């Protein structure tokens, strides 16, 4: 009888530990996943070394797969070298309601854009029914 009680206590302990791990995983995983996602446009903090850059040739094309392709060219129209170039895109429906917004890194962390240089970008967003968009690009002044 003593062995039977010990086995039951062990099973309950194992079940309790498993439940705690599931709860911890369920709470912690969304937090980690949220850190890996692109932030909304409003989450970009103002920085004194941030330089606004020019964007041209933007195309926003919906595909039959339910994705929207966003392409364009960023020009370093400043007189400074910039790094960590990003683009913010906000997609709107016909009623001017935000459908989706994202911030994407365009250059690698180690690359530098010299004045007058350009870099192209192309990415997909998981949305449809886009009527119009807003876009901006910026980079950080290099030392």
From 51, 50, 57, 60, select the one nearest 102 (Cα to Cα).
Answer: 60
pLDDT at 110: 86
From 114, 126, 45, 124, select the one nearest 74 (Cα to Cα).
Answer: 114
Q: Band of the pLDDT at 38, cuts 50, 70, 90?
A: very low
Q: 10 or 137: whose pLDDT is higher?
A: 137
The CA distance from 121 to 92, in Å, is: 20
The pair of structure tokens assigned to 65 is 């797969």
pLDDT at 29 over 60: no
The CA distance from 28 to 92, in Å, is: 32
- β-pairing verdict for 112-113 and 50-62: unpaired
The CA distance from 106 to 137, in Å, is: 9
pLDDT at 77: 95
The pair of structure tokens assigned to 16 is 């309790």
Beta strands in 17-65 (DSSP E): 50-62
Rounded to the nearest integer, the mean pLDDT of the chain is 77
């Amino acid at each position: 009888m003593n062995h039977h009680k010990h086995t039951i206590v062990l099973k309950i302990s194992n079940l309790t530990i498993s439940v705690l791990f599931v709860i911890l995983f369920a709470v912690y995983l969304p937090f980690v996943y949220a850190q890996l996602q692109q932030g909304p446009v409003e989450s970009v903090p103002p920085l004194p070394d941030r330089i606004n850059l020019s964007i041209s040739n933007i195309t926003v094309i919906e595909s039959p797969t339910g994705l929207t392709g966003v392409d364009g060219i960023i020009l370093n129209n400043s007189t400074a070298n910039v790094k960590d170039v990003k683009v913010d895109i906000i997609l709107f429906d016909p009623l001017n309601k935000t459908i989706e917004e994202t911030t994407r890194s365009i250059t690698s962390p180690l690359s530098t854009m010299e004045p007058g240089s350009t870099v192209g970008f192309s990415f997909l967003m998981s949305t449809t029914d886009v009527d119009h968009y807003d876009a901006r690009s910026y980079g950080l002044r290099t030392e």
